[in-house]
């Protein structure tokens, strides 16, 4: 954490939350294709 700094971590977390909310559906835990899409989005951050 010391390397990135608090502000950088906050920005990264906010961006990750935004991406997850865009890709999350009501039943995302039951649908494999939505899970895969979310994992790809998370890895691209």
18: tokens are 């935004």
pTM: 0.48
| C-alpha span between 37 and 31 (Å, rounded) | 10
| C-alpha span between 45 and 11 (Å, rounded) | 11
pLDDT tens for each residue of 9-37: 899 899 888 887 876 666 656 677 777 87
Selection from 41, 14, 15 nearest residue 28 by Cα: 41
DSSP code of 4? T
Q: What is the pLDDT of residue 18?
A: 87
Burial class of 29 by CB neighbour count within 10 A (0 to 12, 13 to 18, 19+):
exposed
């Amino acid at each position: 954490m010391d390397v990135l700094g608090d502000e950088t971590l906050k920005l990264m977390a906010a961006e990750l939350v935004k991406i997850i909310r865009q890709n999350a559906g009501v039943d995302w835990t039951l649908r494999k294709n939505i899970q895969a899409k979310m994992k790809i989005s998370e890895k691209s951050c």
